[in-house]
Amino acid sequence: MAGNIKLSDQQYQIVQTLWQLGEGSAKDVQQALDDLSLAHTTIGTVLSRLEKKGVLSSETRGRERIYRAEIDESDVKRSMVSSLVSTLFKGDSKALLAHLVREGDFDDGDLSDVKALLEKENENV
């Protein structure tokens, strides 16, 4: 389901939990996200909606519905960053990078790492 994947913060956290667990029930997700204090019914509703979007699939095991992610984390990040660049930076990814450097809390080592990464990417092109 690569392409245009948009997830709210809450949806992303739930899918991220399933990536970490491999698969799980609403109860499993709730226990993993106990610091968010989300109701079991809320998690169940979000899981169901994500399944309808094609982000998750599920099967019934005993009395529980077990969910697993049908999308890769890298696809979600790529899509969400692409949407961010398109929406906030008019498609100019260099503007995003410049913004991060200006506004971010980077030290010289971080910027050297970014430069090395860019040079490596240029070699692969």
pLDDT single digits (tens) 30-45: 999 988 888 989 999 9
Average pLDDT over residues 20-24: 96
Same domain, 84 and 109: no
Give this prediction's pTM.
0.74
User: What is the H or E stretch that residue 57 is in?
Assistant: strand 56-61
Same domain, 111 and 72: no
pLDDT band at 1 (very low <50, low <70, confident <90, very high): very low
Q: How far is the C-alpha of 2 from the C-alpha of 12, rounded, in Å? A: 15
Q: Which domain holds residue 50?
A: 1-91
Q: How far is the C-alpha of 29 from the C-alpha of 13, rounded, in Å? A: 10
Average pLDDT over residues 65-73: 94
pLDDT at 111: 79
Please state the domain count of the chain. Answer: 2
Average pLDDT score over the chain: 88
Same domain, 111 and 66: no
Residue 77's region, left for phi above 0, alpha for psi from -120 to 50, else beta, is alpha
Indicate the Cα dihedral angle 27, 22, 11, 46, nearest 10°: -40
| pLDDT exceeds cutoff 70 at 97 | yes
